[in-house]
Amino acid sequence: MRLLLYVLLNVLWVPIYLIGLICYMVPILLARGRVSGTAYEPFNGRLLYHLMGTRPDAAALQLAPGLPAANRGTLDLLVRPMAWTSKVTGHVPGAFRYPPPRPTSEGAMVGARCEFLDKALRDHVGTGDQVVILGAGWDTRAYGLLAGRGVSIFEVDAPATQAVKRAALAKTSLDASHVIFVTCDFNRQSWLDALEAHGFDPHRRTFVLWEGVTMYLEEQAIQSTLRAVATLPPGSRIAFDFFTREWIDGVAGRMGQWALVATYGESLAFGFSVLPDFEGRLGAYMAEHGLVLENCRPMGDEREGRVPYGGLAVGVTPEA
């Protein structure tokens, strides 16, 4: 009954949703190739969790009107009606449940990522640590989950994308005075060198958050990032997600690739090959780059011998 009502109301809202979609897509298309469009995908997910009451992220709601594609039209004609419909009907689709149901569908990927990475941050970030958010996009953890925890926070991103984030923070009066912003192109530069020029201390324990980024990078950038974390003090960590090579090369991955290029002008590059042994292969890859695999899980079909579409991992710098 709830599901039926949910579907009926959503069908009624289609004309409103279409106008909201235009408000969303126009700024993305205007900045295509310059500013990350894919950064909106996880942001929209986290915004909807907040509005649906499943994962609080007040900073995302505050930041939204400052971001070109999360403008008033998008919020009032797309995001809020979706959240309202879920609230009044009592039906929360799998993609917006937090934590999401298992096995993790492709639609629930953002929730699975958030659940795993939020937990890694909560478990391993302590007072005095440094936190580096690589490819920060519109991530708001620095202004929510990590705020007031006595840690030094660095957000690293491509220059044009970071400029849009900083303008949005200023417009929406979100306090970013505790965050150090550093620009870098991960495929061409060392983020560690860039950070060191901005007060990063390579002798302090550090947690590197790398959400939704590996798939857009060349493999040498993946390898140099893992090696860079391995030079940091013991107990430093990197937590990240990835797509599997098998999924990217398969039919679903090729369709996903097409949709990404068509919508955002961005394409998938790196995929981690996980067959025949997800954990074994991931552990060996981390070891090759100086890290110990501390925790991991596949996303997608988790049965033995099946190919998951992605995975989540935490690597730690070992004692010398």
Residue from the set 20, 137, 144, 253 that interacts with ligand SAM by CB under 6 A: 137
Separation of alpha carbons 23 and 101, rounded Å:
31
Q: Cβ closer to ligand SAM: 85 or 117?
A: 117
Nearest to 108 by CA among 94, 119, 90: 94
Residue from the set 30, 101, 150, 187 that interacts with ligand SAM by CB under 6 A: 187
Residue from the set 27, 100, 144, 212 that interacts with ligand SAM by CB under 6 A: 212
**Residue 127, burial from CB neighbour count under 10 angstroms (0-12, 13-18, 19+):** exposed
Does 241 contact ligand SAM by CB under 6 A? no
Q: Which segment (8-16, 75-83, 85-93, 157-165) binds ligand SAM by CB under 6 A?
A: 157-165
Q: What residues have CB less than 8 Å from 74, skipping those under 6 apart?
A: 20, 23, 24
Least distance in Å: CB of 134 to ligand SAM?
A: 7
Separation of alpha carbons 114 and 98, rounded Å:
9
Q: Which segment (31-39, 88-96, 242-250, 311-319) binds ligand SAM by CB under 6 A?
A: 31-39
Q: Give the DSSP per-residue string, 127-167.
A: TT-EEEEET-TT--GGGTTTTTSS-EEEEEE-HHHHHHHHH
Residue from the set 20, 27, 42, 111 that interacts with ligand SAM by CB under 6 A: 42
Residue nearest to ligand SAM (CB): 137
Binding site for ligand SAM (CB under 6 A): 36, 38-39, 42-43, 135-139, 157-158, 161, 184-187, 211-213, 216-217
